[in-house]
């Protein structure tokens, strides 16, 4: 397996534009997590899915953020409209069905810059 695949790797966009980040989890993993990493706040969990169903989105900062998982092999994180303070590295991670008792596999991340 190629691991968790995220796209794009880098995204530069202007304030107010819509941004969509994509993630393909490892096949067979039924937990999917979206994290945001900044120097100030570290790794923050935004939302996670179990079997394609959003379980906890309490980490989503605002209504401008939304996430979907239409099937077991694809998830998106959308920011609309984007703001400069959204600049961060966004990681997607997946875990096998044992969930809490096993490791999370991270993608390479998407570095988002909003100017």
Partner 1 sequence: GQQVMQIPQYQHVQEGEDFTTYCNSSTTLSNIQWYKQRPGGHPVFLIQLVKSGEVKKQKRLTFQFGEAKKNSSLHITATQTTDVGTYFCAGPGYSGAGSYQLTFGKGTKLSVIP
* Residue 12 contacts partner 1 per CB under 8 A: no
> DSSP 3-state assignment of 106?
strand
Can you say whether the dihedral through the CA atoms of 28, 32, 38, 40 is positive or negative? negative
Say how far apart CA 24 and CA 6 lie, in whole Å. Answer: 6
Residue closest to 106 by CA, chosen among 57, 34, 27: 34
* Residue 103 contacts partner 1 per CB under 8 A: yes
* Residue 100 contacts partner 1 per CB under 8 A: yes
> Binder to partner 1 among 17, 56, 85, 115 (CB under 8 A)?
56
Nearer to partner 1, 82 or 94 (CB): 94
> Contact residues for partner 1 (CB under 8 A)?
31, 33, 35, 42-43, 45, 48, 50, 55-56, 91, 93, 95, 99-109
């Amino acid at each position: 397996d190629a691991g968790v695949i995220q796209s794009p790797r880098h995204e530069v966009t202007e304030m107010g534009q819509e941004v969509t980040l994509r993630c393909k989890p490892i096949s067979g993993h039924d937990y999917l997590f979206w994290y945001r990493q900044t120097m100030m706040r570290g790794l923050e969990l935004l939302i996670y899915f179990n079997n394609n169903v959003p379980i906890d989105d309490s980490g989503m900062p605002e209504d401008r953020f939304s996430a979907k998982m239409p099937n077991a092999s694809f998830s998106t994180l959308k920011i609309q409209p984007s703001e400069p303070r959204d600049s961060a590295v966004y990681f997607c991670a997946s875990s096998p069905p044992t969930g809490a008792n096993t490791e999370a596999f991270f993608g390479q991340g998407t570095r988002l810059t909003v100017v």
